[in-house]
Amino acid sequence: MTLLSTRGLTKQYAGLHAVEDVDFDLPQGQVRALIGPNGAGKTTFVGMLCGRIAPTRGTVIFDGKDISTLPAHKRIALGMAYTFQITSVFANLGVAENVALAARRRLQGAAVQDAVADALAQVGLGDRIDQTAGDLSYGHQRLLEIAMGLVQKPRLLILDEPTQGLAESEVAAFKTLIRALSDTTTILLIEHNMSVVMETADVITVLNFGRVLAEGAPSDIHADAAVQAAYLGTG
């Protein structure tokens, strides 16, 4: 079953095509990586999926429904959760309260506290539950943001550069987390760390100049001459 798809999705800025005529299909239960050089249109594309950027034309379909004009908060209510390239935690609040704010979209009472503890444990922040979010390192704030997404039990989790700022050991733990989540959650991963992409993704979509350059299994993408020339730097 296809959970998320786009048809002809396009975004123009003063005549510049940031994203142009992208057809995209993400099956339920898949881990999909979206890669491409800087300026390829990845963040704009994801912004249109999430409802933060209005497309110039084209459609976004989620679970069989046309959500092209739905605002971001209504897409969240349908089961989409996402983290941003720049952290968006509430720095003055505690770690637990940040996650609790997200949890309260679907839970009440004591269930919130249990869900918060579970989500923080999943991302390796269980021992930091009493800290203030702004006191965390940048990498740990990224993990906190992922916990805020996970606690919503989303059908689709979109992660934009989630390993940016993480230590090598934390990146390894993140790979393990993605593999564990793939049993219950569809994941779209926008990532520059190619070891993360190659080791966690079922399928990779490559954007270049706002268009889909290639799509396929990690081994096929790694061997693709056009991708090597445009992005991997081995062409």
Question: Which one, of 234, 233, 230, 235, lies nearest residue 36 by Cα?
Answer: 230
**CATH number for position 69:** 3.40.50.300
With residue 11 as reference, give the H or E element that holds it. strand 2-13
Q: Are residues 164 and 224 in the same domain?
A: yes
Q: Are residues 58 and 173 in the same domain?
A: yes
Residue finishing a domain among 153, 171, 204: 153
For residue 84, tell me if it sits in a domain: no
Helix (H, G, I), strand (E, B) or coil at 162: coil
DSSP 56-124: SEEEEEETTEE-TT--HHHHHHHTEEEE-SS----TTSBHHHHHHHHHTTT--THHHHHHHHHHHHHTT
pLDDT of residue 67: 98
113: Cα within 13 Å, side-chain hemisphere = 3
**Domain region containing 102:** 89-153
User: Is pLDDT of 151 > 90?
Assistant: yes
pLDDT of residue 85: 54
Rounded mean pLDDT, 169-180: 91
- pLDDT bucket at 234, cuts 50 / 70 / 90: very low
The pLDDT tens digits of the residues spanning 90-121 come to: 999 999 999 999 999 889 999 999 999 999 99
pLDDT of residue 56: 96
- pLDDT bucket at 87, cuts 50 / 70 / 90: low
Q: Are residues 1 and 93 in the same domain?
A: no
Query: Is 0.85 surpassed by the pTM of this model?
Result: yes
User: Is pLDDT of 72 > 80?
Assistant: yes
Which is it for the CA torsion 121, 3, 48, 9, positive or negative? positive
Q: Are residues 167 and 71 in the same domain?
A: yes
Domain count within the chain:
2
User: Is pLDDT of 86 > 60?
Assistant: no
Cβ proximity of 29 and 223 under 8 Å: no
The alpha carbon of 169 is separated from its chain's Cα centroid by a whole number of angstroms, namely 21
